[in-house]
């Protein structure tokens, strides 16, 4: 499985097979658009999801689950916004949103 590492804002509108991680100390932001699909783990400070994620989501700052978000995995967060229609098939775990880094 591949792994993407970055430190700037990134927007995904297609399919990603692999993990998405931010660099140490970054203020990275990931946005998964309505047609975006991630098959892997996401570990970034801020993430906005309006597509599908099949894997755990780790956020040290802020998670936003928009109306068409579907997460099949656990969501680790410190601050979360969840709009009516968003789905999580897993656990919402507060306070353990430490972003994993590589």
Task: Tell me the per-residue pLDDT of 32-62, one tens digit each, with 9 for 90 and over.
Answer: 999 999 999 999 999 999 999 999 999 999 9
Task: Please state, in angstroms and rounded to a whole number, the distance separating the CA atoms of residues 78 and 85.
Answer: 21
**Residues 41 and 58: beta-carbon distance below 8 Å:** yes
Residue 93 has pLDDT above 50, yes or no: yes
Task: Tell me the per-residue pLDDT of 78-92, one tens digit each, with 9 for 90 and over.
Answer: 999 999 999 999 999
Which H or E run contains 79?
Answer: none
| 55-58 LR contacts (CB < 8 Å, sep 24+) | 55/19, 56/90, 58/97, 58/98, 58/99, 58/100
Residue 76 has pLDDT above 70, yes or no: yes
Nearest Cα to Cα of residue 40 among 62, 30, 94: 30
Q: What is the pLDDT of residue 102?
A: 42
* pLDDT higher at 59 or 10: 59
Helix (H, G, I), strand (E, B) or coil at 74: coil
């Amino acid at each position: 499985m591949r792994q993407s590492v970055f430190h700037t804002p990134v927007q995904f509108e297609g399919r990603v097979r692999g993990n998405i991680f931010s660099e140490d100390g970054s203020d990275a932001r990931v946005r998964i658009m309505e047609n975006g699909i991630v098959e892997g783990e996401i570990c970034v400070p801020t993430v906005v999801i309006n597509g599908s994620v099949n894997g755990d989501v780790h956020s040290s700052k802020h998670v936003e689950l928009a109306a068409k978000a579907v997460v099949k995995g656990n969501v680790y967060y410190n601050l979360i916004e969840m709009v009516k229609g968003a789905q999580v098939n897993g656990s919402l775990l507060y306070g353990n949103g430490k972003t994993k880094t590589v």
